[in-house]
Amino acid sequence: MGTGYLSAFPSEFFDRVEAIKDVWAPYYTIQKIMQGLLDRYTVTANSRVLDMVVKMANYCSDRVKNVIQKYSIERHWESLSDEFGGMNDVLYPLYMITADSISGFHSNTHIPVVVGAQMRYEVTGDPLYKV
């Protein structure tokens, strides 16, 4: 579809998760597809496969960012209270394969984000923002 979306169900299933409505396991399904592709990349070093997994991760990231911006981080956590699959299980290995922790960051943009997160932790005590 040109969006990074690749699955066995319509993208509206994510809309239902985000609206906190009943739906069967979209993140679980996406994670399994991504894990299979990442395993294939690990074995074959096929860059097209890695590109597909990265695009899927970006699609999911964009969905999460949208929920946080539209509602709140708390709403995002609430939407995942019933079903989130093993996204951590695939995203951390993907990060290890693809991440350059400095490349692509703009210091005037990203350093204040980190400083702000630390300040939020100091003010609220919310451990999510402890840097």
Band of pLDDT at residue 42, cut at 50, 70 and 90 = very high
89 in the same domain as 121: no
125 in the same domain as 80: no
Domain extent for 72: 1-99
Tally the domains of the chain. 2
pTM over 0.85: no
Q: Contact at 8 Å (CB) between 43 and 70?
A: no
The alpha-helical segments, DSSP class H, found in the chain are 12-18, 26-44, 47-70, 73-79, 87-98, 107-124
For residue 54, is pLDDT > 70? Answer: yes
Handedness of CA 66, 69, 75, 76 (dihedral sign): positive
SS3 of residue 127 by DSSP: helix
79 in the same domain as 28: yes
82 in the same domain as 39: yes
Which tens digits make up the pLDDT trace of 9-41?
888 998 998 888 888 888 888 999 999 999 999
